Amino acid sequence: MSTHLPESTTLRQAFDRAAHSYDAHAIVQREAEDRLLEQLQAESLKPKTLLELGCGPGRAAHRLKKQWPLARVLAVDLSPAMLQRVREGNGWLRKVETLCADARHLPLADDSVDLVFSNLMLQWVEQPAEVFAELRRVLRPGGLLLMHTLGPGTLEELRQSWRAVDEGVHVNPFVDMHHLGDALLGQGFQQVVVQAETLTLEYRRVGELLRDLKGIGASNHLPQRKKGLTGKQAFARMQAAYEAYRREGWLPASWELVSLRALAPQPGQPRRLPQGEEARIPLEQLRAQLKRRKTP
């Protein structure tokens, strides 16, 4: 069975509903955001225009504005309710601008952005290459793209526990990191770095995990899902299957965190590199190079 992600309208409605519960349940999202901001510290940047793509309630956008108070910071999201949360966080002097838009169709001029920062948005897009093509358009040559998304190992325990119940689709599909790297290279991005690590949260009960997912707007919105409420017997069987993962009193929930770093190509750069050309750099090597550049 092929699996398709929810339509934009469905996602907008889900995140609108989650706008006020998001912060209380966004444990992985906050940790991923902190790591991405820490990675940004290794970069030598003086951006004039920054874009946070899929900003949610705007925690990162406000932190970026604090770091670069003279820069224009644009917070972009599908959800009007999330963008209202961003505006509520604005101060008198440091204002983040908001823009309600689809990541695949940004109402921005070509070559107008120096930095695109995106934390756990890309996994909601059916074809990531469409987003990369749009970001190539709006980024200035040499502009930085820094992203976190989720890989196939995410919520694997939950996925397998539902498979013990039925053949339905209960957990979103996630794109492998190598396909994401290839998609970036296919759009002509340079110095592409793709890495993955696994974060594990622990819960006493499966219901706590499901409440967190609902609280951030990430419940099952897949068009292939079974309609109507899940029966008590099916839910009990899923819980029983999940118990096989319990260790020392806790149930694990895995999140495969994929980081993407790339530079926008120079004018005329082809959309796809010559076959066999290598354009990936280990993150440790990249940090060492950046450190050397900063040393007088």
Is residue 68 within 8 Å of residue 47, measured between CB atoms?
Answer: yes
Q: What is the domain-level CATH number for residue 37? A: 3.40.50.150
Is 248 contained in some domain?
Answer: no
Phi, psi of 103 (to 5 degrees): -60, -20
Give the chain's mean pLDDT.
88
Is residue 217 within 8 Å of residue 85, measured between CB atoms?
Answer: no
Cβ neighbours of 240 (radius 10 Å): 13
Q: How far apart are CA 233 and CA 235, in angstroms?
A: 5
Is 178 contained in some domain?
Answer: yes
pLDDT digits (tens, 9 = 90+) for 44-75: 999 999 999 999 999 999 999 999 999 999 99
Is 33 contained in some domain?
Answer: yes
Q: How far apart are CA 219 and CA 50, in angstroms?
A: 30
- The number of domains in the chain is 1
**Which structural domain, as residue segments, surrounds residue 26?**
8-154+173-198+257-294
Residues 6+ apart with CB under 8 A from 201: 27, 28, 209, 252, 253, 255
Q: How far apart are CA 217 and CA 21, in angstroms?
A: 9
Is 159 contained in some domain?
Answer: no
* pLDDT score recorded for residue 199: 96
pLDDT digits (tens, 9 = 90+) for 193-209: 999 999 999 999 999 99
Is 214 contained in some domain?
Answer: no
pLDDT digits (tens, 9 = 90+) for 88-100: 999 888 899 999 9
pLDDT tier, 275 (very low <50, low <70, confident <90, very high otherwise): very low
Q: Which is it for the CA torsion 82, 225, 163, 244, positive or negative?
A: positive
Strand partners, 260: 147, 194
Is 229 contained in some domain?
Answer: no
pLDDT digits (tens, 9 = 90+) for 170-193: 898 899 999 999 999 999 999 999
Is 69 contained in some domain?
Answer: yes
Is residue 83 within 8 Å of residue 12, measured between CB atoms?
Answer: no
pLDDT tier, 7 (very low <50, low <70, confident <90, very high otherwise): confident
Is 289 contained in some domain?
Answer: yes
Is residue 239 within 8 Å of residue 206, measured between CB atoms?
Answer: yes
Burial class (CB in 10 A: 0-12, 13-18, 19+), 98: buried
Instruction: With H, G, I as helix, E, B as strand and everything else as coil, classify residue 6.
Output: coil
Token pair listed for 262: 């790339």
pLDDT tier, 5 (very low <50, low <70, confident <90, very high otherwise): low
Token pair listed for 27: 């444990």
* pLDDT score recorded for residue 153: 96
